[in-house]
Amino acid sequence: MSYARMRALIVLSVLTVAAIVFVAVALVQDTQTEATVTEECPPGYVLANVALPEPKDVKLKVFNAAGQNGLGARVSTDFSNRKFQVEKPENSDRTSDDVAILRYGPKAVGAAHLLRAYFLDNALTEYDEGRDSDVVDVVIGTGFEQLATTTEVNQSLVELGQAEVPPGACAA
């Protein structure tokens, strides 16, 4: 064996021993012996799912409050083509001048946040902490023109940031 190979093996052995020593010291002197505990939800608060879901995991129901025939079905088809789970659309009993109104409960906070991006944050939100369903009601108003493109949705999500925990709720 040549002198160069012998020197390389010695250096490699020294580095290996040093790495083992450093890991052992780090494990022995670790002061974080207990796992960190997240804050508990205060009494009377509900758990809200604020995680941003994939479109395939979002359930929604479209209500036509614009007074235009077939608008609810068209928007439902658009959402269905984007891989959302869409229930049969219905006509609303009242009209709305807004672009859209998103009605949701604690189980659908993240889903509603995602849907806000499809309306470029022009949709009103109505949170109901007593609602037990994970379905988001999308009420389409007269101000609606079209859903955002994929690029616009991604840009809108960046601008919106993380979903906020509603009042009276804790993040699940």
pLDDT of residue 92: 86
**SS3 of residue 125 by DSSP:** strand
What is the residue-averaged pLDDT of the chain?
90
pLDDT of residue 37: 47
Where does the pLDDT of residue 45 fall: very low under 50, low under 70, confident under 90, or very high at 90 and above?
A: confident
Residue 133 burial (C-beta neighbours within 10 Å; 0-12, 13-18, 19+): middle
Where does the pLDDT of residue 34 fall: very low under 50, low under 70, confident under 90, or very high at 90 and above?
A: low
Where exactly are the structural domains of the chain?
Answer: 46-171
Closest CA to 135 of 58, 53, 75, 65: 58
Reported residue count of the chain is 172
Q: Cα separation of 16 and 112, whole Å?
A: 52
Contacts with 37 (C-beta within 8 Å, 6 or more apart), sequence order: none
